[in-house]
Amino acid sequence: MSAHDDEQRAAATADAATTTSATSTAATSTETTSAAGHLLGAADIRRIAADAGISPTKKFGQNFVIDPGTVRRIVREAGVGADDHVLEVGPGLGSLTLAILETGAQMTAVEIDPPVAQRLPRTIGEFMPQAADRLRVVRADALTLAPQNLPDFADDASFTLVANLPYNVATPILLTLLERFDNLGSFLVMVQKEVADRLSARPGSKIYGTPSVKLAWYGVAKSVGTIGRNVFWPAPNVDSALVRFDRYAPGEAPAAKSSREDVFALIDAAFGQRRKTLHAALKKVVPEGTFEKAGIDATRRGETLTVDEFVRLADAAKELGA
């Protein structure tokens, strides 16, 4: 059983999704500003939090960005434009949300914390009222999202995720969304630097592990920069970094006869006993002759295998009756 599965089950007990329309809230709000397009600074964030009675919580991994330059950098690295449809997970008090809307993009923001979700449309109505009709806020746990309960992107050939993800559940969120939304074509996320390094690690690296190889099943990830601690409120005790991911184009994905579940089961088994050779780690998982059929040396360790090699192992095991 993978850590991803454990975290996903534990987080999936959150409230069922409800939606809030930014349009109606903006229309009735009396708090408008002449500075249309103004992004949030430290004073704005603290005022909004105090007004709404919101305090950042460790439970939801909340560290709000207080620097307009940082959120504009995130949006720039994501390549978001006016024709794009964007999903944001964990919008918080709206720093990154405003920067995304500033581009002219349409977006859906998914927030698990009810008071925060309730406040967000009011913030957009105050700071960027002309963009209110391009935002929909959904109150939900990101790990429960699926096309059935988030139909916003059903008509899109491709959409992008742009987010400052809660550090404690970043990897499960990314893998869950990629699994459930075939048209999630790219993402640009800010995560803990250690997580960013693992997501973008290559075979043979000491930090290459299950997140690295599972993400490589779907596409290519790379680290595109670091973020200082002083741009957050409260300041975290860890460094942050940006990860860019692009899904494989048709024909580029690993050509597997086995299912994703079969391949991921081998990955989990191989890294579950990281110090052991493949032969020792997988001896109870694959039939005899699997390594020879796949053309893979059984004395190697899982941390040296590419996703394509894990696919070859799974296919060989399947052909031999696993």
Q: Tell me whether residue 297 is annotated as binding.
A: no
Q: Are 279 and 291 in contact (CB under 8 A)?
A: yes
Element (H, E) at 221: strand 219-227
Backbone angles phi, psi at 44, to 5 degrees: -65, -45
Q: Tell me whether residue 90 is annotated as binding.
A: yes
Q: Tell me whether residue 141 is annotated as binding.
A: yes
Q: Are 124 and 131 in contact (CB under 8 A)?
A: yes
Q: Tell me whether residue 113 is annotated as binding.
A: no
Query: Measured between alpha carbons, how far is 194 from 242 in angstroms, rounded to an integer?
Result: 11
In sequence order, what DSSP letters do the residues of 14-48 get, joined into one string?
SPPPEEEEHHHHHHH-S---S-TTPPP-HHHHHHH
Q: Tell me whether residue 321 is annotated as binding.
A: no
Task: Please name the residue ranges forming H helices in 252-301.
Answer: 260-272, 278-282, 290-294
* C-alpha dist (Å) from residue 26 to 70, 119, 321: 26, 11, 60
| Residues found in the chain | 322
Q: Compute the Cα dihedral for 253, 256, 259, 261 and give only its sign.
A: negative
Binding site, annotated residues for S-adenosyl-L-methionine: 63, 65, 90, 111, 141, 164
Binding site, annotated residues: 63, 65, 90, 111, 141, 164
